[in-house]
Amino acid sequence: MAETSSAAHLDPQALAPLNELTVSNGGGTPTGGSRPPSPSPPKIQREESKTLRKAGPKTDKLLSDLYVDVCGSENVRPNSIAMELFQCDPRAVLELDFSDNYLGDRGAKAICQLLRQMPMVQKVNMRGNGMRDARGHSGGGSVLCLCQQLSGHPQIRWLDVSDNEINDKQGGEALYQLVTNNHLISDLKCDGTRMSADLKTRILDTVKANRENAPKSIRRHAYETQSSHMVSGRRTGTTSKATK
């Protein structure tokens, strides 16, 4: 792995093992599926210690440890690529991208249950993962879990749940309540779902109002203006992006 240079002063005691990481998973590993070819080597950039201090007290567990705990409680096999990507301090993650990874509803739910453990995450992309409303799960499916985890989240700004099985009842209404209660969500993508045009319009109008009523200081997403730790399990391309 190659570490990029940084002009900022770094405090090794406060840093996460990884900060900037975007990697192709070489074809994706649906939960319980066969292991894909090894991913390309990721590039990393470490987080500034002041950002981690802002995120709260340091935890003794890496994000991968928390993920294993959740998978155990849900009786789900951990996704091999997620395990590799989650080797970091959960406080350092600003962006989570598992778009078009075909995790399945149970696999997606396990990842969604980690969102409250990432207090600084601002952008979450779960497009095209077979997410469902509540079928076959006690306590609801991954869509409801996602909404519960992000309700009251102190940093979330951007969310993509397109190309998932989201209906008006339960999932669609949960999304509407989420953007109504959490005014920080100022950008939401929900194309390719089963929601009615009426409900989708209500959701997007609420998101637009959130954006228009947001203070100027947060209208521009923070993930566009500061160093970030991006955790990505996308199926295509291998890139590394450090925002300044």
Contacts of 137 (CB under 8 A, 6+ apart): 105, 106, 109
Mind listing the pLDDT tens digit for each residue in 86-126? 999 999 999 999 999 989 999 999 999 999 999 999 999 99
Q: What is the pLDDT of residue 234?
A: 64
The full DSSP string for 48-116 is PHHHHHHT-SPPSS-HHHHHHHHHHHHT-PPPHHHHHHT-S-GGGEEEEE-TT---HHHHHHHHHTTGG
pLDDT at 219: 55
151-165: average pLDDT: 97
Question: Mean pLDDT throughout 207-221?
Answer: 80
DSSP readout, 201-222? Answer: HHHHHHHHHHHHHS-HHHHS-G
Average pLDDT over residues 219-238: 53
Checking if the pLDDT of 225 tops 90, the result is: no
* pLDDT tens per residue, range 167-194: 998 999 999 999 999 999 999 999 999 9
pLDDT bin (cut points 50, 70, 90) of residue 215 is confident
Task: Please tell me the predicted confidence (pLDDT) of residue 140.
Answer: 75
Beta bridge partner(s), residue 123: 95, 158
The pTM of the full predicted model, rounded to 2 decimals, is 0.72
Share of the chain above pLDDT 70, in %: 63
Instruction: Tell me what pLDDT residue 27 has.
Output: 40
pLDDT of residue 147: 97
Q: Which residues pair with 3 in a beta bridge?
A: 44
Q: Is the pLDDT of residue 32 over 60?
A: no
pLDDT at 146 over 80: yes
pLDDT at site 106: 93
**Token output for 171:** 């999932």
**Per mean pLDDT, which range of 29-38, 71-80, 212-221 is the poorest?**
29-38
Mention every residue, 6+ apart, whose C-beta is less than 8 A from residue 106.
31, 74, 76, 137, 142
